[in-house]
Amino acid sequence: MKIDATALSIVIVLFLAVTVLGFMAARWRRAESLMHLDEWGLGGRNFGTFVTWFLLGGDLYTAYTFIAVPAAMYTAGAVSGWFAVPYTIVLYPIIFLFLPRLWSVAHANGYVTPADFVRGRYGDRWLALAVTLTGILATMPYIALQLVGIQAVVETMGIGGSGLARDLPLLIAFAVLAAYTYSSGLRAPALIAFIKDTLIYLVVIVAVIYIPYKLGGFGHIFDSAQAALSKKNPATGMPFGSIIPGDPGYVPYVTLALGSAMALFMYPHSITGSLAAKSRATIRRNTAILPLYSFMLGLLALIGFMAYAANVKPVGLDGQPNPQLVVPLMFRQFFPSWFAGIGYAAVAIGALVPAAIMSIAAANLFTRNIYREYIKPDASPAHEARVSKYASLVVKLGALVFVLFLDKTLALNFQLLGGIWILQTFPAIVGGLFTRWLHRWALLVGWAVAMVYGTVVAYQQVNPATGKHFGSSVGPIPFYTGHTAYIAVTAFVINLLIGIVGTLILRALRVPEGKDTTRRGDYHVEMGDPIERPSSVVEPTA
């Protein structure tokens, strides 16, 4: 591919603009000092509806949306990609039920991370550590997915190939991301999200109107996609996919949608964006208006099918097939260089914003729930903030490992792999918001078994085209021969069954349940409510 100088220049200019904005964000809504996790890691806990909407939109609708979903639609059709649309619709009623409660109890007790809540609710540092390690582990492949998005854009402009030339743009993006995140904390992605979302909406609206018009309408697009996906895959002897799931695809489709919906707000970055809101009402309003992004996601996903009608061949500069190039190549084919450059910049910036939030959230987990809990319990707020800044750099390095060594043929698996792990914290976090019936040790054993099961089964899924492990997030259902489902859901069912049976056994043996330091009223605290914490009295909750 020849280097597109015009598009590259526009990307560089916009990239530099948001980088400068990222550093300037340290002075936006300036506090006396950023050397406190409430300020550096949660933006002062004072974002209103407007800022929170952009922040959560930038947080949740990532390179997964712009690169991985259309690539999955192109590769295998509806089962692999379209499930992302209903899952983001199912998601919001779920979080409307529990997220305001989490905001209230975190506000009342000064919690910064979900593991802080688990520690207070169950009085068990080991269960909190399990939630912490899971959050950090699951975040790394999600950050990696953002970096894959940047790599796809750069490669489409003619830069890259193989070896260092392919990975150098990732290293540069890592350095820029690390620098302004270290400097400005959560304020940086919150401010940049305004630009990111404006660019994305502009590009998507133009693309889904202009490209189908040039291709002769959606009828031709769907016919072309069905014809291409119906062909046999030489590696498997089966069709590549379908625009509508057949009987074998029903269970994988449903479990991918449901499991992803349940998992999304277990991720530390999703909770971090929510805890930065200034009130319960802000959370509720955002669960009502965030589905606007789901509409955009559905339009973007269809670009994967449009690529068939446009006869796009997503092959990288190294000569290898790379479905992640579908969207950038469509921009290159149908738009003049200056508008394609805006599209590339939108995708790149759309990857940097969530990557910044993710690294901050994972760093907060390490600082609050590992460093302060096990290494330096008397750490001052300034010391905590300093450690969190350093930890955010390490998390990004971990994400680079996923990018450099795992199979990128279907980058959507990065997010789905993280979902397998993070969903196993659902019983402790969401369950704990409503009841303490599940015993802390039963939760811990259920988590451990589900994590091992999910990881092993995911590793056993080999991509037939590349021979690499972790090639799919759909695996066999235990004791249900011939049927498959999203591995996260089967692991979650195992987790929950162990939690229930284990709780019955431990309660029968009268094993101590741990001390709950939250109070019933904490789960309903509103902004401005007086909060009193008697040191000698702990009121039992549900």
**What are the pLDDT digits (tens) for 25-55?**
878 776 666 788 888 888 888 898 888 888 8
pLDDT at 283 over 70: yes
> Mean per-residue pLDDT for 232-240?
77
What pLDDT is recorded for position 406?
60
Q: How many CB atoms lie within 10 A of CB 381?
A: 14
Buried b (16+ CB within 10 A) or exposed e, 288-303: eebeebbebbbebbbb
C-alpha torsion sign, points 48, 51, 53, 55? negative
pLDDT at 181 over 80: yes
Structure tokens at 5: 């100088």
Cα-based distances in Å from 248 to 219, 260, 465, 479, 486: 25, 19, 21, 17, 13
pLDDT at 218 over 50: yes
Of the candidates 414, 540, 517, the one whose C-alpha atom is nearest the C-alpha of residue 110 is 517
What mean pLDDT value characterizes the chain? 86
Structure tokens at 279: 């009130």
Cα gap 72→82, rounded to integer Å: 8
What pLDDT is recorded for position 424?
97
What pLDDT is recorded for position 439?
96
> Mean per-residue pLDDT for 70-74?
88
What pLDDT is recorded for position 538?
39
Give the list of residues 6+ apart from residue 32 with CB closer than 8 angstroms, or none.
none
> Mean per-residue pLDDT for 133-140?
92
> Mean per-residue pLDDT for 492-509?
97
Cα gap 417→405, rounded to integer Å: 14
What pLDDT is recorded for position 539?
40
% of the chain at pLDDT higher than 90: 43
What residue type is assigned to position 240 of the chain?
F
Q: Where are the alpha helices (DSSP H) in 3-83?
A: 5-24, 37-40, 49-60, 63, 69-76, 78-81
What residue type is assigned to position 168 of the chain?
L
Cα gap 221→224, rounded to integer Å: 5
What pLDDT is recorded for position 412?
57
Structure tokens at 9: 């220049």
Residues in the chain: 542
pLDDT at 411 over 60: no
Full-model pTM? 0.89
What pLDDT is recorded for position 510?
94
Which of the two residues, 410 and 67, has the higher pLDDT score? 67
pLDDT at 407 over 70: no
Cα gap 36→54, rounded to integer Å: 23
**What are the pLDDT digits (tens) for 1-18?**
678 889 989 998 998 898
Least confident of 299-308, 411-420, 501-510: 411-420
Cα-based distances in Å from 461 to 126, 276, 316, 366, 411: 31, 38, 24, 30, 15
Task: Please report the DSSP string for 162-193 in residue order.
Answer: STHHHHHHHHHHHHHHHHHHHHHTTHHHHHHH
Calculate ∠ Cα 192-196-200, nearest 5°: 175
**What are the pLDDT digits (tens) for 310-329?**
999 888 777 788 888 899 99
In the chain, where are the structural domains located?
5-409
Structure tokens at 458: 């995911």
Name the band, by pLDDT with cuts 50, 70 and 90, for residue 535. very low
pLDDT at 370 over 50: yes
3-class SS letters over 416-439: HHHHHHHHHHHHHHHHHHHCCCCC
> Mean per-residue pLDDT for 100-129?
95
What pLDDT is recorded for position 542?
41
> Mean per-residue pLDDT for 125-150?
89
Q: Are 67 and 151 in contact (CB under 8 A)?
A: no
In the CATH scheme, what is the code of domain 5-409? 1.20.1730.10
> Mean per-residue pLDDT for 262-288?
91
Q: Where are the alpha helices (DSSP H) in 335-439?
A: 337-366, 381-405, 412-422, 426-434
Which of the two residues, 489 and 395, has the higher pLDDT score? 489
What pLDDT is recorded for position 80?
76
